[in-house]
A and B are shown apart, each in its own frame.
Chain A
Amino acid sequence: MVISVLSGKGGTGKTTVVAALSELIKNVIKVDCDVDAPNLYLFYKGMDVEKKNFYGGKKAKINKSLCIECEIW
């Protein structure tokens, strides 16, 4: 079972509710997907066990020796 906690408005208490409920329910995995400002971990004095980079889109690279600067756009 995956339960999401959402709000629309910011600062209404999503993280507070998740932290409290997950502590009471026990045996649940807490997931912070507010990746822009992830705060859930601030409730815990833990240590990172794993950390890795996330790669999304690709970044364009221009080969200057081939580019004719056509400005097609």
Chain B
Amino acid sequence: MNIAILSGKGGTGKTTVSTNLAMTLGVSYVDCDVEEPNGFIFLNPSIQKREDVFVEYPVIDQKKCVLCGACAKACQFNALAKAGKEIVVFEKLCHDCGACRLACKADALSYVKRSIGKLESGMAKEINCYRGILNVGEPMAVPVIRKLLKELPKEDHLVDCPPGTSCNVVTALKYVDAAILVTEPSEFGLHDLKMAVELVKLYNIPYGIIINKDDGQDNMVKTFCKANEVKLFGTVPYSMEAASLYSKGMMLCENDNHKKNFINMAEKIKEAFTW
């Protein structure tokens, strides 16, 4: 079973919830927020394996190229352009689709690999940890996320997703069976939570909600859950202690005041997803 942790809004506590739940449940942790993978700061696993993630882009054999411009015309991502007596390649725009090679009648195109990021895996205490890292300045995270999730061994995983609801999150959702949406009780948290709810509904993924920074009162997110009959797995308290532990990169589930809370949420999650 793969369970995604997502939120819509950034900074609501996806990583806090994912790392602590993974430890509590004793399942593996997967950080696919490849633009800013922070989960390993909490878990601090010993890295056992590292590998590069490659994508391919076209190179043009100037001797064979007849400058017809067919490749540039075929490219829907503007990665190729005819500029005077040269075809210019913008490698970062290339989506590795292969259309340019099909369009080239002069057989002047071949592909070379370049690294856009890497995958790392290791162990923290008794759980397996995996993460993808996108190189700074790279525009496309999807190839890293896809490779990370595609090559996971068959076991139970908590998948810490990127914020938002775009391609990166959609790619991650293709590999999961259920989702936990983490939010905070603010206009902003609720606004983006609704977008995340729309997304998981679109893909028919069963889901429930965890509220972070909860002050124990009734709030707009609880009202939303009740009104829409959405399962609330639990809350992480709005407390100085929780914030302080988090800021130091410490695990809440290893603290006596918070351990029980994560055990309770883990139980509810197992029950809801019949896991």
CB atoms of A9 and B10 under 8 A apart: yes
Q: What number of A-B contacts does a CB cutoff of 8 Å give? A: 43
Number of interface residues of A (CB under 8 A): 14
Compute how far the CA of A31 lies from the CA of B77 in the bound complex, rounded to whole angstroms.
26
Q: Which of A49-73 contact B (CB under 8 A)?
A: 57-58, 72-73
CB atoms of A11 and B77 under 8 A apart: no
Residue of A36, A58, A72 with most partner-chain B CB within 10 A = A36
Q: Known interface pairs A57-B76, A57-B77, A58-B76. Does A37 touch B11 (Cβ–Cβ under 8 Å)?
A: no
Give the distance to chain B from A11, nearest Cβ to Cβ, in Å.
1
CB atoms of B192 and A39 under 8 A apart: yes
Q: Which of B147-191 contact A (CB under 8 A)?
A: 163-166, 187-188, 191
Number of interface residues of B (CB under 8 A): 20
CB atoms of B166 and A8 under 8 A apart: no
Does A10 sit within 8 A of B, measured CB to CB?
yes
Residue of B98, B163, B187 with most partner-chain A CB within 10 A = B163
Does A27 sit within 8 A of B, measured CB to CB?
no
Does B272 sit within 8 A of A, measured CB to CB?
no
Compute how far the CA of A57 lies from the CA of B164 in the bound complex, rounded to whole angstroms.
20
Task: Write the chain B residue with the least CB distance to A39.
Answer: B188
Q: Known interface pairs A9-B10, A15-B188. Does A37 touch B77 (Cβ–Cβ under 8 Å)?
A: no
Interface residues of A (CB under 8 A from B): 8-12, 15, 36-37, 39, 42, 57-58, 72-73
Interface residues of B (CB under 8 A from A): 8-12, 36, 38, 76-77, 98, 102, 163-166, 187-188, 191-192, 195
